[in-house]
Structure 1
Amino acid sequence: MPRLVDVAALDEAAQTIVTEAWDAETVRDRPPVVCAWLDSDLDGESLVEHIARYLVGPGVDGKPVFWRFYDPRVLALTLATFDPAQRQALLGPIQSWQFIWAGHRWSISGRGVATDLLEGHVPAWPRNDQWPRINRSDVATQVVDRLSDVPVQEVASLPATLDRLFGDAAQFGLTQADDLADYAWHCVKYGSAFEQHPTLVQARTEMVDGRITWPEIVSLFTPDELRQLEQSSRLSKAQRTES
């Protein structure tokens, strides 16, 4: 269960420890310990109630599920999936929600206005069509862990990019988490030229029909082709950065 710490109520030594722990979250070698840094005018007890109301609710099958939305590995993909009204409801009385994902610090701003308690978890609870996308958070983590340091210019769009790539891969017939992660990793690393490569385009129908597996498709690319794709991707990214 998440634990909320009122940093302002701590003595100076304890504040230093908490701040150092927060700064250490940018090191991508372990699961998160400090999941978020929240700014709110609400008292601690009321803030706990706000967060707790979205921890448990119905899953796709209607049975109760525990939703780790506070975990940055889940939150990153959730924010890419939610519509603006859902995002604001999730923030509620929180004016700023900071979290660290993919080695970078993110900050989401809210209006700082609490949602009606009588509405329960509904305003910020995933819809049935959103659950499959949010549940790919573990797959997204696999991709991020395999990527080397992601430049700040690219990381802002990475959750939405991964969400799109996972959806594409599912349409192509990829269902295993490792295949989804490997497909997305190749697309992020090698860019649109990989997604549009004739070898991949031609194999998609076979993937849908189950006549070829993802590892078999990857094996069709020669090392030279992958090197050329990587060089092309780097050049394209550099040109976008300059412009």
Structure 2
Amino acid sequence: MENSDALGMDDSPEVIAIDAAVSSLRTYFSKRPEMHCYLVVDPSQRDFTNDDEEAQRFRQLKRAIVEVMHDAFPDNHRPYLVELDLNTPEGAGAFAESVRIAFEDRRPMSMAEGLGQRVGGWLASDASLDEVAEHWGRHVLQYNEEGLPCVLRFYDTRALSLIWPVLSQEQQQTLLGPVKVWHALDASAKPRTYSVLAGSRADLSLTTEQWQQIHRHGSVNRALALYAMKVDRQPEPSEIAAAVAAAERAEHYGLFDRDDRVAFVESALAWHPQFDLHPKVLQLLGARAPDKFYTAAVSVLTEQDIVEIRDGAWYERLSASSPR
């Protein structure tokens, strides 16, 4: 009975999810012996492979740095790939530890504190480690719609989950390059795969519209992290979609302060996805002076107003009266 109770104490949702992910990934690679398993590491916030506690697992493993060809980008922030041989105790141990860390970094408090995503997923490729790193190095530095250098942080799984649907299939294939399947956690911290069967192009050639969407992702992910901490769970896909849509509307309302845009997106998550269509909110936004923050404009809302917005009956009436 004591052993049973002890085991039960470890059966938290996170532990169950980690075990399931480890099992699923090991099964995938065991069925494809021709595929290498490359761990993606983003050391920009914290580098777990240099931590005293974890370094021993990774010290002897082969790695390749993804070069970011810009003098202003710190060398110690460059992402890198680690080759994991799952048939060896060292590789299997490092692999299991990397899965644990990936889930740990998705804890709501960790996201809200801005501690970053140290693990960027696990790549399946029959190309060499250096080939994959060199390919990513050709695409990680992009030039935005104003011609300015911009690091496309696709190696951050929370960023990737928002960038991927913005890209065309050709651009997705260009990003993957020699990677056949990219295993990672999605925006809801659920395991997913990124792969595509399409022709590729020489470069990503992101359009102005795509850049505009990508620029919003920082506000979206910040709002989602704060919301996840408040509700103590991962965001649902519908909430992620609502956050993306709200970030675009925030721009249309002329909100250009980052914290103000984050607050607007948070309102869409906490109150109602279309909260800004509520008559009182719409009136406040319409009367807002260009130099007045959104947060100041809506600070006059009462608790009863917010209860009414959350209830959503007003939106049902609005939808029913709209011409079809």
TM range (shorter): 0.7 to 0.9
Tell me whether 126-135 or 224-233 shows the greater mean CA deviation.
224-233
Distance in 2 (CA, whole Å) between partners of 1:103 and 1:87 is 21
Q: Equivalent residue for 2:100? A: 23
Corresponding position: 1:126 with 2:206 = yes
Q: TM-score, normalised by structure 1?
A: 0.78
Q: C-alpha displacement at 1:219, in angstroms?
A: 1.3
Contact 1:80 1:163 in 2 (8 A): no
Corresponding position: 1:58 with 2:156 = no
Alignment-mate amino acid for residue 130 of structure 1 = Q
Q: C-alpha displacement at 1:170, in angstroms?
A: 0.5
Q: Equivalent residue for 1:43? A: 128
Post-superposition Cα deviations, 1:19-38, rounded to whole Å, max 9, x if no partner, equal 22322322331311111211
From the superposition, tell whether residues 48 and 65 of structure 1 become closer, same or farther in structure 2 (CA, over 3 Å): same
**Higher-RCO chain (CA-CA 8 Å, sequence separation at least 6):** 1
What SS class does the counterpart of residue 42 from structure 1 fall into? coil
Q: C-alpha displacement at 1:114, in angstroms?
A: 7.8
Post-superposition Cα deviations, 1:143-190, rounded to whole Å, max 9, x if no partner, equal 1221135877x6334444333211111111111111111111111222
Post-superposition Cα deviations, 1:83-138, rounded to whole Å, max 9, x if no partner, equal 3332232223323223335551342332467846xx2xx2x242233223212332
Q: Equivalent residue for 1:213? A: 293
RMSD in angstroms over aligned alpha carbons?
2.9
1:2 pairs with one of 65, 79, 97 = 79
Q: What stretches of structure 2 of length at least 5 have no aligned partner?
A: 1-77, 317-324
Distance in 1 (CA, whole Å) between partners of 2:307 and 2:101 is 34
Q: Equivalent residue for 2:157? A: 72
Distance in 1 (CA, whole Å) between partners of 2:167 and 2:196 is 17
2:225 pairs with one of 145, 149, 161 = 145
Q: TM-score, normalised by structure 2?
A: 0.61
Distance in 2 (CA, whole Å) between partners of 1:193 and 1:136 is 18
From the superposition, tell whether residues 167 and 113 of structure 1 become closer, same or farther in structure 2 (CA, over 3 Å): closer
Distance in 2 (CA, whole Å) between partners of 1:46 and 1:211 is 50
Q: Equivalent residue for 1:82? A: 167
Number of residue-to-residue matches in the alignment: 227
Q: C-alpha displacement at 1:224, in angstroms?
A: 2.9
Contact 1:72 1:101 in 2 (8 A): yes
Contact 1:77 1:160 in 2 (8 A): no
Contact 1:26 1:103 in 2 (8 A): no
What SS class does the counterpart of residue 119 from structure 2 fall into? coil
Alignment-mate amino acid for residue 122 of structure 2 = W
Larger radius of gyration: 2
From the superposition, tell whether residues 114 and 92 of structure 1 become closer, same or farther in structure 2 (CA, over 3 Å): farther
